[in-house]
Chains A and B, each alone.
Chain A
Amino acid sequence: MEAAFYIAGIVAIVSTVLTISRLNAVHALLYLIVSLLAVAVAFYAMGAPLVAALEVIVYAGAIMVLFVFVVMMLNLGKRAAIAEGQWMQGSIWVGPVLLSAVLIAEVVYLILRARLPEIAVGVIDPKQVGLALYGPYLIGVELASMLLLGALVGACHLGRPVHEKTEARYDRNSDGARAHSGGNLIRAGIGRTPDAP
């Protein structure tokens, strides 16, 4: 179990680093899924089987599918990867990376010096979690359900068919007709094009 935990941890860290450095969104998502699966294995090794299963079912199996679904629906293709490469340039990230490398080195040093505690004290089975969840944490469950309801309503509202009036306004903005109306909204509509007024 110890070895499984450490291997899963290393896999998770490496795949997360690869996630945030990919240019292609689908490749990044693939590495993120691997990272989540590795975290699930680590959970199982830590003696939390319920959470490990839920990590796979909900995180890797539902939330990430949503991401993949949206990326596929946008169908960005090669153009987006090139744009991403242009945005990724610049030396802004060098400073943070160096500083966090120092921090990581410190953490590794501290971990290696310290006496390692045992990874899994004991397995906490689903029954225990369920009893605690619907006992002292009942109010949290209610709040989470209200949050999810709010998200449901919000997503339905955002996903409804675009109102014709707003669509017409933005259509007008995006083709050359912006000269005679001016103002902030128009500039924002096209965003970062250099020829905005």
Chain B
Amino acid sequence: MRRNLIFILMSIEIMLNGTGVAFVAAGSRWGQPDGQIMFLFILAMAAAEVSVGLALVLRLYHLHNNLDADAANEMRG
């Protein structure tokens, strides 16, 4: 199991990149620019997600002194 927050964020990047590949491949299959535009939006979204995510990781690391995702369960909902 991966509990390391950094690895979790990296895996999200892999998945986002996978959807990007699908969009670009579909766009180039039909010769339309729309697929590439969706990829640009994914890119913007990934940049936003990573900046906030990594800031959170740094903050959590300062609080708990480890990167365990389960350590951040104080907000029991």
| Chains A, B in direct contact (C-beta < 8 Å) | yes
Q: Least Cβ distance of A33 to chain B in Å?
A: 11
Complexed CA–CA distance, A58 and B29 (Å): 24
**What is the CA–CA distance of A90 and B30 in the complex, to the nearest angstrom?**
45
Q: Select which of B9, B33, B51, B65 is within 8 A of A155 by beta carbon.
A: B51
Closest beta carbon of chain B to A68's beta carbon, Å: 10
- CB nearest neighbor in B for A130: B33
Q: How large is the interface on A (under 10, 10 to 19, 20 to 34, 35 or more residues)?
A: 35 or more
Shortest CB–CB separation between residue B5 and chain A, in angstroms? 10
Secondary structure class of chain A's binding surface, majority of residues: helix
Interface residues on B, range: 35 or more
A and B contact pairs by CB, cutoff 8 A, 26 listed: A16-B14, A20-B2, A20-B14, A25-B7, A32-B14, A42-B21, A46-B28, A51-B24, A54-B39, A58-B43, A58-B47, A63-B13, A67-B6, A67-B9, A70-B58, A80-B4, A124-B27, A128-B33, A133-B37, A144-B44, A148-B48, A150-B48, A152-B51, A158-B56, A189-B74, A192-B71
Known contacts A25-B7, A66-B50, A67-B54; is-contact A59 B43 (Cβ 8 Å) = yes
User: Which residues of chain B have C-beta atoms less than 8 A from A190's C-beta?
Assistant: 64, 71
**When the two chains form their complex, are residues A121 and B29 in contact, meaning their CB atoms are under 8 A apart?**
yes
CA gap between A64 and B28 in the complex, in Å: 26
Closest Cβ of chain B: how far from A86's Cβ, in Å?
Answer: 10
CA gap between A184 and B75 in the complex, in Å: 9
A117-175 at interface with B (beta carbon < 8 Å)? 117, 119-122, 124, 128-129, 131-133, 137, 140, 144, 147-148, 150-152, 154-155, 158-159, 162, 170, 174
C-alpha spacing A87/B4, complex, angstroms: 9
